[in-house]
Structure 1
Amino acid sequence: METSALIHTDIQEKWIAKLNTVKDDFKSHAVYNDLHSRFPYENIEWLVKEGYTLLTLPKAYGGEGATVEDMVIIQSYLGSIDGATALSIGWHLSVVGQLYEQKMWDKTILDQFANAVRQGALVNRSVSEAETGSPTRGGRPATHAVKDGKDYVINGVKTFTSMSKGLTHFIVSAYDETIEQVGFYLIPKESAGVEIADNWNMIGMRATESHDLILNDVRIPEQNFVEIRGAGGKAPNGWILHIPSTYLGIAQAARDYAIDFAENYSPNSIEGTIGDITTVQQNIGKMESLLLSARHFLWSTASLYSTEYSAKAIWNETSASKVLVMNQGLEVIDLAMRIVGAKSLEMERPLQRYYRDMRAGLHNPPMEDMAYTNIAKSVLGQF
């Protein structure tokens, strides 16, 4: 990817230049972290130290004030360096961006939490549960919150808690039987009763350490009851585009590896390199076209969100972006592996990791069937 031809804001130029200085280090960590299912501590520590976690915090709160478009372009580049690092930190960027853009919490809590973010806090939503499946389907969580004086007591188990080992705060969904509603509760990691299960054992996105979060009589003050699910109505959330951004980056990395291989691999059965073979050139052409399509669709959606925040304008584009990037990205990686051949399956080469990590993205929100259903309802006027 010729980044110089694609970036067009100072913040994009700044962060892509900074990421270039650690690109080789991040890539070297990725091999070990994937093999050992180890969280990318060094990478995340560098990002926090350099202020990357302030990227989507508005300037009024002491952040960098990046737009959705800025985040998408920078995260796409970080994803091409290390997918697990990009997806992990992306959750934090997305949560912070949405919270402050849509002012989802009371001003006092937003002010307090902005100070925590400036001090290096890392946050993610913990909403998935084994009993409910994907949270986008709206199931009622088994995790429950009980009011006890001026506190809430939370009990439950959350699955797929990405970046669990690096988080300082969890925004946990729980059902309050008193008000008969699902709420969200801000829980600091150091709270008594918070436990990380150490049970993440997947073939894809292994380094995200998305362990179960166990909550045993976790007591928090009543002001940490920060949201009621659905209270703000339905609105497109452009910040969730951090997900396809990461996977677009992984597809880009696969493409780059395959191109380098085609330009340099020269078996003695042919003259020149395999890049001169018609079949390989056809696969390269298909791969590049798919990647161009996915990139321009995603980035134009992000640009539209940043300049014209309107549910009518971008609802379908936001829903479609993840599905399109995932499906075309998977095809890009398949073509890259066909170009490289059986060597693409060697554990010493990154293509097999790109393939496994890309598959994991199918199970990040929004789920494909829900995205298509939402698009159909929009077209049919059923929202």
Structure 2
Amino acid sequence: MILSELKTSIERVELLKNIVRPFAERASKHDQEATFPVENIEDLKKSGYHTLTVPAQFGGLDISLLELVQLQETIARADGSTALAIGWHMGIVKHLGEKRSWEPGMFQTFCEEVLRDGVLINNAASESGTGSPTRGGKPETTAFRKGNGWVITGRKTFTTMSPVLDYFVVSASIEGSNEIGNFLIHKDRKGLLIEETWDSIAMRGTGSHDLVLSNVEIPDANLVEYITPGKKQATGWLLHIPACYLGIAKAAQEYAIRFASSYSPNSIEGTIADLPFVKQKIGEMELYIQQSQHYLYSVARKWDESNEEDRQKCERNLGQLNIQW
């Protein structure tokens, strides 16, 4: 069954629960070995999950932000690394569909590739020398003109889902100017290399390796947009990240309850789940999760119900407050 063939979000969430059940069984091995769960991504692609945020005019389902966070949470309850990885593709496609910042023909062609060929995309913006791009650091990755195209050189860190990505949106400083551009680069371009550097304490299965670009040549049209570093924008699609963490929290809660309901030391009768102190802690977990879920869902719902004017107001307010994330 393909997710996009179902009529309601409730049906899609229920089907996704079945699809991701094997992810939980694979998660421990991938975490211990710091390997990327390719099979999980393939299962999601077979179900059509990767197409759900493609705009309806191009053949996608254009799901709401609320449904996106609910689906991402569902994946994360089985495997947080897989959820965070595919969430970047899902969110970026949704964001591009809302903003339409790319040239229309380029975006339509990309969406058609998602539907037809199952291509996946992620941004490559972070660098070891600049830190988070949201704080305004200028990329050390450079782009210069050559004929009717561009030549890109640099190194990007935290390139999540890199083992299976087809496209990278790379931020680079344009030589001879103060401008910064986002460049769309296909994985097969000569000079592009994934260096397997990812060896973290947690989320080890995200495949967030380094992207190395050595004189990678791309067409002029692949400069898809100019960007302003550090500019805070209202970006609802980034809620895929807290949705992932909420799913992980729910999985941890379930594990704790299973353990408490089965552990029976010889110092007591029954299990520790019967102890008042343990009951209190389980109740506190539930309270925090309910609070987090309500806040996340309500923000997503408000985003879905807002228009572009409301979102622009939010962007201006963020700029005035000079929020530092």
Q: TM-score, normalised by structure 1?
A: 0.78
CA distance in 2, matches of 1:14, 1:39: 28
CA displacement at 1:76 relative to structure 2: 0.9
Name the residue aligned to 1:27: 24
Secondary structure, counterpart of 2:91 in structure 1? helix
4+ residue stretches of structure 1 with deviation over 4 A? 312-316, 373-376
The 8 Å contact of residues 40 and 207 in structure 1, kept in 2 or not, is answered as yes
CA displacement at 1:285 relative to structure 2: 1.6
CA displacement at 1:12 relative to structure 2: 2.3
The 8 Å contact of residues 232 and 315 in structure 2, kept in 1 or not, is answered as no
Matches within 5 A, 1:329-344: none
Matches within 5 A, 1:86-165: 86-118=83-115, 119-165=117-163
Letter in 1 for 2:226: I
Secondary structure, counterpart of 1:204 in structure 2? coil
CA displacement at 1:205 relative to structure 2: 0.9
* Counterparts in 2 of 1:178 and 1:378: CA distance versus 1, 3 Å: closer
CA distance in 2, matches of 1:279, 1:14: 38
CA displacement at 1:276 relative to structure 2: 1.3
**Does residue 227 in structure 1 map to residue 213 in structure 2?**
no
CA distance in 1, matches of 2:26, 2:52: 23
CA displacement at 1:235 relative to structure 2: 3.6
Secondary structure, counterpart of 2:209 in structure 1? coil
The 8 Å contact of residues 233 and 318 in structure 2, kept in 1 or not, is answered as no
Name the residue aligned to 2:287: 289
Percent of aligned positions that are identical: 41
The 8 Å contact of residues 301 and 314 in structure 1, kept in 2 or not, is answered as no
CA distance in 2, matches of 1:375, 1:72: 26
Equivalent of 1:377 in 316, 321, 324: 321
CA distance in 2, matches of 1:62, 1:140: 37
Name the residue aligned to 2:73: 76
* Counterparts in 2 of 1:273 and 1:376: CA distance versus 1, 3 Å: farther
Name the residue aligned to 1:267: 265
The 8 Å contact of residues 124 and 162 in structure 1, kept in 2 or not, is answered as yes
Q: Which has the higher strand share?
A: 2
Gaps of 5+ in 1: 1-8, 317-372
CA distance in 2, matches of 1:256, 1:110: 41
Name the residue aligned to 1:204: 202
* Counterparts in 2 of 1:42 and 1:213: CA distance versus 1, 3 Å: same
CA distance in 1, matches of 2:88, 2:192: 20
Question: Matched residue pairs, number?
Answer: 314
What are the superposed Cα offsets for residues 78-112 of structure 1, whole Å, 9 maximum, x if unpaired? 11111000000000001100011110101011111
Equivalent of 1:299 in 287, 297, 300: 297
Q: CA RMSD in A?
A: 2.1
CA distance in 1, matches of 2:108, 2:62: 15
The 8 Å contact of residues 234 and 312 in structure 2, kept in 1 or not, is answered as no
Secondary structure, counterpart of 1:159 in structure 2? strand
* Counterparts in 2 of 1:314 and 1:12: CA distance versus 1, 3 Å: farther
Equivalent of 1:214 in 199, 212, 215: 212
CA displacement at 1:21 relative to structure 2: 2.0
CA distance in 2, matches of 1:269, 1:121: 57
Name the residue aligned to 2:189: 191
The 8 Å contact of residues 194 and 212 in structure 2, kept in 1 or not, is answered as yes
